Chains A and B, each alone.
Chain A
Amino acid sequence: MKNMRIDLAMLAAVFLAVGLFTGCKPAETKSEQATKPTLAVSPAGETIYGEMGKWDNQNGDSIQLSSLKGKIPVLSMVFTRCTFACPRIVGDLKAIEQKIPRDKKDKVVFVLISFDSDRDHTAELQKFVQQNKLGKQWLVLHGDEESVRNLSMLLDVKYKKQANGDFTHSSSIALLDQNGGIVTQVEGLGADATPLIEGIKAL
């Protein structure tokens, strides 16, 4: 019973904390925070390609995110040793792949970015590509810690490295337009991908 009471007190603390800080904000952001937090969408189509960062792909080639200009990237953050959420994200992405209209097939690129800067080097990424039978429209990227952290901020992805080297993380899929603006995102495993597919059709 005592524990129960403490839990309630903590819940109250969370509401208080959220209340405190929304209290300092103008009204429009207040309502945004009061509802279920939404994931980042680029203001006025602002590109995330302005952010530099050091990336290399499953073939060991170093690339810049801006090289995706003109493509329609579908992005998610994962790590190759992940046994739970990430295989399901890959499954969700493959399901989206099946639903892309024919005229967009060459444009859409599936981009998986690894949280695991320390361990997910080229060989690991290549293994991941083989195991998951990822086709030529798929890119799996390794980046240094800073690049990964910056990208996670832009996409509103949360992650934490555990002491054993694995990651706890939120799962979301982002759709970018041809200029690297975030069009929409869906959060959660097995989430309804309709906004993404409709988004792809409209681009």
Chain B
Amino acid sequence: MMMRLSVVCSVLLSFVILNAKANSNPPANGMVKIPAGKYTSFLADKTAKQVAVKSFYLDVKAVTNAEFLEFVKSNPRWARSKVTALYAESGYLKHWASDFSIGSNYEKVKNSPVTNISWYAATAYAKWKGKRLPSLNEWEYAANAPLVNSQRTVEQTILKWYSKPTPIILPPTGSASKNKFSVFDMHGLIWEWVYDFNSVIMNDDSRSNSVNQSLFCATGAASTIDKENYAAFMRFAFRGSLKAKYTTSNLGFRCAADVKN
């Protein structure tokens, strides 16, 4: 019975994968082509309200522990004991048993998104795959797409997720949500690194003179467009608080790639 069920499942799964392939013409497995479009950025740019995003490829799911283990095995520089403190703080891959082993939790977490990784490690992984990290605008644009198979709006899904603590064992990728671009888990599973996360400049107050005059006369919050977009505010506040070497137990990543003309 179990056997039959798993066969049915894998047939279904491969059907889904084949289907996705036929629709998207990806450069590699597991990516989908996101069409060019525009979105309204949460943080206003005084010279443009809508941000245009070119077509790009995006991983449909976040990078998993098992995938990241392959990377570390091929690039020992990124093993837990080898990585230097400039490129990852001490919590780097702390949920793994050792440098090249996830440990007894392997079966439980192999398909869960890898977390406790720094921006540098995520960037190195993407490069190794011949990919890159999505830009902040690409990520936000893809994440703004409405969800499918869900009664809830994107906003409701996020707020429900925010209200719960991060589970010790993260659920597998693909389990949280799916949107109209066929991209999974942009909300509801983990936070994700983006290439230019350090482009979020939210000043604490106008007395600080650390940024130039475009934010000089008010707090960073004055440049927000939708003051009620609590969920987006949380994402931007989080990014604004990050440094590239930081690692946290609910911050992972997915890769993107250029569409070659």
Contacts and interface: CB of A to CB of B under 8 A. Distances in A.
Interface of A: 3, 6-7, 9-11, 13-14, 16-18, 21, 24-26, 29, 33, 37, 40, 42-44, 46, 48, 82, 84-85, 149, 152-154, 156-164, 167-172, 187-190
A13 B241 CA distance: 13
B151 interface: no
Interface in B68-119: 84-86, 89-91, 119
Interface stretch (B27-35, B42-50, B170-178): B42-50
A187 B210 contact: yes
B86 A10 contact: no
B211 interface: yes
B191 to A, nearest CB: 9
A182 to B, nearest CB: 9
B238 A17 contact: yes
Contact of B227 (A3, A46, A82, A171): A3
Contacts of B209: 171, 188-190
Question: Which range holds the interface residue count of chain B?
Answer: 35 or more
Interface of B: 45-48, 84-86, 89-91, 119-120, 166, 195-196, 198-202, 208-216, 221, 224, 227-228, 230, 233-234, 237-238, 241, 243-244, 248-250
Nearest to A39: B243
Contacts of B200: 158, 160
Contacts of B48: 163
B237 A43 contact: no
A12 to B, nearest CB: 10
26 contacts: A3-B227, A6-B228, A9-B230, A10-B227, A14-B237, A16-B234, A17-B241, A18-B241, A21-B241, A24-B248, A24-B249, A26-B91, A37-B241, A42-B86, A84-B213, A85-B212, A153-B119, A156-B198, A158-B201, A159-B201, A160-B200, A168-B201, A169-B212, A170-B211, A187-B210, A190-B209
Chain B, interface SS category: loop
Contact of A13 (B45, B199, B233, B249): B233
B198 A21 contact: no
A154 B244 CA distance: 8
B212 A13 contact: no
Given A6-B227, A158-B198, A21 B212 contact: no
A168 B198 contact: no
A187 B201 CA distance: 14
Contacts of A33: 241
A160 B243 contact: no
A158 B243 CA distance: 10
